[in-house]
């Protein structure tokens, strides 16, 4: 019997994922995927791991190009006491990046969506908690990352750094929820880039 080749699941400190928001989201995420050591005994298909790495590299390139661009800002319905803002980036190759930020008295929540040809490829969200109202001093942070292939999530690293693949029903349901949030963000951005409907 020939065993299907698998790759170990990286196990990384939540601090690494938190720092990607202090600098650039995907560059640190890319370094995490490429350089984590150790890992759990659980394994995922090589194809899934390769897909995640490919998408992360692409998102890294999108971030690099976006750095020199002036985003189109748009109003986003407040989901917190301090209100929300949005920024929309459109690249020449039809890649888009949407940033959402909600500010609150006791913390902030951020979302970043990467898509190409109106198809979501990566979504990263972060929730920061302050030590006291409006202090701005973060004492706890949680990051959630979802990679997509077509309409479906293929890899999910949740807020406590548990990794699941698209074959997991919980990951599938979470991916559906995240994609719905992306569609809402696209609608709020007022872009003419029409995402493909769910199948």
The pLDDT of residue 192: 52
Which residues are CB-neighbours of 119 under 8 A, at least 6 positions away? 148, 150, 151, 195, 196
The pLDDT of residue 45: 64
Task: List the one residue out of 64, 113, 106, 107 whose CA is nearest residue 88.
Answer: 113
pLDDT at 196 over 80: no
pLDDT at 4 over 50: no
Both tokens assigned to 20? 């990607």
pLDDT at 63 over 90: yes
Task: State pLDDT tens for residues 108-145.
Answer: 889 999 999 889 999 999 999 898 887 778 888 899 99
Q: Decide if 199 is inside a domain.
A: no
Q: How large a percentage of the chain has pLDDT more than 90?
A: 41
- For 138-154, what is the mean pLDDT? 91
Q: Structure pTM?
A: 0.73
Q: Decide if 102 is inside a domain.
A: yes
Question: What is the residue range of 106's domain?
Answer: 9-189
Q: Decide if 185 is inside a domain.
A: yes
Q: Decide if 197 is inside a domain.
A: no
DSSP 8-state class, residue 66: H
Q: Decide if 87 is inside a domain.
A: yes
* β partners of residue 165: 155
- For 54-70, what is the mean pLDDT? 93
pLDDT at 148 over 90: yes
Q: Decide if 155 is inside a domain.
A: yes
Sign of the alpha-carbon dihedral angle for 74, 77, 82, 88: negative
Domain count, the chain: 1
């Amino acid at each position: 019997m020939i065993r299907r080749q698998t790759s170990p699941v990286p196990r990384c400190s939540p601090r690494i994922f938190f720092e990607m928001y202090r600098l650039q989201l995907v560059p640190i995420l890319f370094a995490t995927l490429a350089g984590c050591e150790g890992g759990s005994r659980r394994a995922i298909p090589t194809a899934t791991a390769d897909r995640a790495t490919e998408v992360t590299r692409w998102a890294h390139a999108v971030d690099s190009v976006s750095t020199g661009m002036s985003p189109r800002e748009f109003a986003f319905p407040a989901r917190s006491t301090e209100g929300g803002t949005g920024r929309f980036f459109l690249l020449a190759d039809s890649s888009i990046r949407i940033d959402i930020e909600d500010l609150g008295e006791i913390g902030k929540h951020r979302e970043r969506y990467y898509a190409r040809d109106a198809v979501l490829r990566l979504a990263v969200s972060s929730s920061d908690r302050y030590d006291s109202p409006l202090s701005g001093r973060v004492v706890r942070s949680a990051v959630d990352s979802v990679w997509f292939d077509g309409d479906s999530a293929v890899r999910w690293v949740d807020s406590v750094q548990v990794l699941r693949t698209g074959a997991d029903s919980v990951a599938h349901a979470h991916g559906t929820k995240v994609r719905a949030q992306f569609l809402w963000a696209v609608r709020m951005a007022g872009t003419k880039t029409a995402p493909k409907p769910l199948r």
